[in-house]
Amino acid sequence: MFDELPLLPPDPILGLLSRFRADPREGKIDLGVGVYQDEEGRTPVMRAVREAEARLLDTQTTKTYLGIAGDPEFNTRMLGMLLGDDHAALKDGRIHGVQTTGGCGALRIGAEVIRRARPAARVWVSTPTWANHMPLIGGSGLQILEYPYYDPSTHGVDFGAMMSALEKVPAGDVVLLHGCCHNPTGADLTLAQWKELTALALRAGFTPYIDTAYQGLADGVDEDVAGMRHMMSEVPECVLAASCSKNFGIYRERAGGVYFLAANRERAEAVLSNAMAAARQIWSMPPAHGAAVVAHILGDATLRADWLAELAEVRGRIAAMRELLARSLAGNGAGIDFGFVTQQKGMFSFLGITPAQVTRLREEFGVYMLDSTRINVAGITPRNIDPLASALHAVLAGAAA
């Protein structure tokens, strides 16, 4: 049976993590997978998460099945966090969804429901986009096409090219957007651009499919999703896939959710029934623990405040590392001004160096980043900045065009 199966290459992100872990060098630096690290290079369990886990363990009385849609409190509180409690879509009862196995599960169930609703719909993704978007969404059978997004010459969004391309997307197709902290570039849309894009979605008739995995890691839990909230208050239909991995730091617990905005209550119920049927076919129901922790934190004023405070520390540290990196790379031999790193949002930036430089950094200096030159800024610490900057200066030396 397995004779014809080819040996596949490792995953571009998680494969790099395995290589990093297998590297025996003491001073190796991980700027690969999107996982937060503190000043000491550790990925801590957040204070509120630790406290919620202790309470849950103490009070848990059963391990019986959750429903297919997961924990109803989790879904309600997630929607409150994502949209704001007084969002019109919530008041109108037009949005429902299911708890999922992290953001990946959310994206896959989202795609499965889109395929059930409109098998011929094509999904347009930004160039570039997160490496796993294609397999996750394409794996459901939907065709994927790309629209221009990042301009390497400005290190920002090429909004003109993006809008011109999306003008031509036919009604009934789907456009995948990053809610905030674009992965892999860190280049985000402004609120004004979200508003223009919303008007275009209404005019063109495509359905937005928003992936939000980094809410709270740029400017604040509400600030980061202002554009997405605006769009979802205007468009008749939308799919929203959310992850709790990064903003709650519960990566391995696999907590997330996918929520479907429909034209009215009755349609929203029908979509939910299809999301539940899709989930039942894939994993039956999601794991309980991570989502229970999130639901507990969001439902407890003290824990929520502490979580928000720690999240503010996290984004403050990332912003400080952006400044430090840009300063440390001043005067490099390639003459690149890395000031753009301070303008980008969330965990990631594209360094824009050459593939040969990426390889040399990894092999000679033990500095790991994705081949695309995406770095996880949260992997930079006051301890590793000097060796990191020396390695970057070394590979950039004499590289000026």
Catalytic residues: 130, 211, 246
Determine contact, residues 94/144, Cβ cutoff 8 Å: no
Among 36, 130, 340, 365, binds ligand LMR (CB under 6 A): 130
Cβ of residue 132: shortest distance to ligand LMR, in angstroms? 5
**Least distance to ligand LMR, CB of residue 116, Å:** 25
Single residue of 100, 132, 198, 344 touching ligand LMR by CB under 6 A = 132
Three-class SS state of 328: helix
Residue 33 is a binding residue for ligand LMR (CB under 6 A): yes
Q: How many positions of this chain bind ligand LMR (CB under 6 A)?
A: 6
Indicate whether 34 belongs to the interface with ligand LMR (CB under 6 A): yes
Instruction: Please count the other Cβ atoms lying within 10 Å of the Cβ belonging to residue 14.
Output: 13
Kindly write out the interface string for residues 153-192 of this chain, putting x where it contacts ligand LMR by CB under 6 A and - elsewhere.
------------------------------x---------
Q: What is the DSSP letter of 178?
A: E
Query: Is 140 a residue that touches ligand LMR (CB under 6 A)?
Result: no
- Spatial separation of the C-alpha atoms in residues 356 and 363, rounded to whole Å: 10
Nearer to ligand LMR, 255 or 261 (CB): 255
* Residues 88-127, mask of contacts with ligand LMR (x by CB under 6 A): ----------------------------------------
Could you tell me if residue 225 is left (phi over 0), alpha (psi between -120 and 50 degrees) or otherwise beta?
alpha
Q: What is the DSSP letter of 67?
A: B
DSSP symbols for 211-279: EES-TTSSS-TTGGGHHHHHHHHH-S-EEEEEE-TTTTT-GGG-EEEEEEE-SSHHHHHHHHHHHHHHH
Count the residues in the chain: 401
Least distance (Å) from ligand LMR to the CB of residue 388?
18
Nearer to ligand LMR, 225 or 303 (CB): 225
Tell me the one-letter amino acid at 269: E
- The residue of the chain with the least Cβ separation from ligand LMR equals 34
Structure tokens at 17: 């993590």
Residues that bind ligand LMR (CB under 6 A): 13, 33-34, 130, 132, 183
